[in-house]
Structure 1
């Protein structure tokens, strides 16, 4: 069950509300989420008391972003264990909530493994629940630490590729604190550049059809005092042709073994534009986004979203008019093609930045080596 927990209106100054947190009120443990569908108009939190509520929050994008989905999935398993629900049933439902983002299933399985291991040592369900929560919290901490390291590696790469500073960076979708236990992935690199006085301009794709760039990245950029400009996705080409883009920074929802990257739809056209205009195209993602079990991009399941997200325009506090809850912008009955992600092949990617270092050129061998080293460090 999910309920509105708190409301923070536009008339109040910005607050530092975490994207996700675990709380234990007298009536039982809950998972509290910042409802990202309501941003930037209002800051509203949702309370999930069971895994089914979290599944719904994931599907409706109240909580989103690959790294954060991994953390949310782990906490969802911990919530099921703490409240005495069927852990395997909850884990299966959570892992299938968004199929493209591999972090979600990784987080779920990590928490479920901790639960099963605890039960093997003791039949006490409370001890098993505590062990599951500890695993989720550890993943949360690791994600925050990974964010810091990715930001440093990413800025070092930018400075190497673009000596002289004054970086003008184009980004797509949202990759900041709203998708992470820390300050994000690609956005964290731009933020690190901003703090170092090296960011001249952050170009923000509005990111159709759900406007994660306009609603969320612009929101985070404004809160951090960054110099940013919002543009429609189809205006990116004119920026490149005018020589206004020095680098592209994007995140990833899944990276296949060959280096193919699944990311928010609209990413692949940016990679093509970057290659034509000789601009570095950089993917920033934690090692948990690497999927050695998926051989190539063709093997990645691409989530198909409802058509009304294209045929209707939805925004917070807009009167409900269409079947999907938004204002109709296409004739009734219009069919829509609405993949949530597209695939960028490794040959279009300048580098992949992770917390364990930079992979460039992007090859299957280099990614396999990095993944193996990261497993040795984590003891996985």
Structure 2
């Protein structure tokens, strides 16, 4: 399964706002439209955001490639800012733009960089899939036999270049016969668990039970869940991490019930420049996402709406961090720096 394609200098994104009812692919040749696709969550998930940002950067370079070098450089600086302003929490966005910047700098910020920018964006896409499969291999080793696994939001093929991070672990473990059931919580307010995670797992023939966000504690108490694995949008040096709102609550419940709690992500999501999760910028989204589902109004006019897209889970609640270089255990800062410093 994939959500991003690139062919003949055209970017194709699977519109995730339409899933699971419709599978609609949208073509992009304008970097502004691609940036807007990130904002509106046509594409979402930290690795997929980074890949899309890289392709958008290339589309900008292609658009401006006929300009003189000085004007081209200025145009690219404005385009980069447009792409960078889309979603502030996902580190992969800035990591990918940094990769593209370095290519442009090697060519003196001139239009001659265009073929290399194309190749760099495609390499970022290819590398992500390889990293996800490595995450799956390392993560499957920590999944107990016959596990009931809880996952939150969507960290699958739809959120990455393909295969997935947390769902990559689940896919690999399922292929080894280890998974008895995956419990996917619906993930309010945008229902990525219900619309996307359940969609992926059902299509892959992995046993899946969809639950509301408020059911996970009860299932843990009943002994249905032996492990939690989910994704991350940014990991600080000490192992604190930002992920979809509601992750912190799941972590607290897992700790109380003595259930191993893992987050899974590629090294491009690890931000060693931040000492802790306190420094992670949390995106605030339109409150209409809470008060409405599509055009159906759920809440009365006048209610105050609070809609952070993410929360921060402290490292003290984390059993291990599954990466493309192995599973990292406490002390997280020392061990993360040893692998990624």
In the alignment, is the contact (CA less than 8 A) between 1:152 and 1:189 conserved in 2?
yes
2:263 corresponds, among 283, 288, 301, to 283
TM-aligned CA deviation for residue 90 of structure 1 = 1.3
1:98 aligned residue: 87
TM-aligned CA deviation for residue 153 of structure 1 = 0.2
Task: Report SS of the residue matched to 1:255.
Answer: strand
Q: Does 1:293 find its partner at 2:273?
A: yes
1:156 aligned residue: 141
1:352 corresponds, among 318, 321, 324, to 321
- Rounded Cα–Cα distance in structure 1 between residues aligned with 2:239 and 2:77: 31
The aligned length equals: 332
In the alignment, is the contact (CA less than 8 A) between 2:3 and 2:162 conserved in 1?
no
2:98 aligned residue: 109
1:84 corresponds, among 64, 81, 97, to 64
The CA RMSD measured in Å over matched residues stands at 1.2
TM-aligned CA deviation for residue 115 of structure 1 = 1.7
TM-score in terms of structure 1 length: 0.85
TM-aligned CA deviation for residue 270 of structure 1 = 0.6
1:256 corresponds, among 232, 236, 250, to 236
- Rounded Cα–Cα distance in structure 2 between residues aligned with 1:168 and 1:42: 29
TM-aligned CA deviation for residue 119 of structure 1 = 3.3
Pairs within 5 Å for 1:166-315: 166-314=146-294
Task: Report SS of the residue matched to 2:258.
Answer: coil
Structure 2: unaligned runs, 5 residues or longer: 66-74
2:120 aligned residue: 135
Q: Does 1:341 find its partner at 2:325?
A: no
In the alignment, is the contact (CA less than 8 A) between 1:306 and 1:338 conserved in 2?
yes
- Rounded Cα–Cα distance in structure 2 between residues aligned with 1:69 and 1:96: 12
In the alignment, is the contact (CA less than 8 A) between 1:259 and 1:364 conserved in 2?
yes
Pairs within 5 Å for 1:11-26: 18-24=2-8
Cα-to-partner distance string for 1:78-127 (whole Å, 9 max, x where unaligned): 1111121722211111112100000011111211211221236xx5x2x3
TM-aligned CA deviation for residue 362 of structure 1 = 4.6
In the alignment, is the contact (CA less than 8 A) between 1:352 and 1:362 conserved in 2?
no
Displacement over 2 Å in runs of 4+ = none
TM-aligned CA deviation for residue 266 of structure 1 = 0.6
In the alignment, is the contact (CA less than 8 A) between 2:285 and 2:308 conserved in 1?
yes
Using CA pairs under 8 Å that are at least 6 residues apart, name the structure with larger relative contact order, 1 or 2: 2
TM-score in terms of structure 2 length: 0.95
Structure 1: unaligned runs, 5 residues or longer: 1-15, 315-325, 373-380
In the alignment, is the contact (CA less than 8 A) between 1:251 and 1:284 conserved in 2?
yes
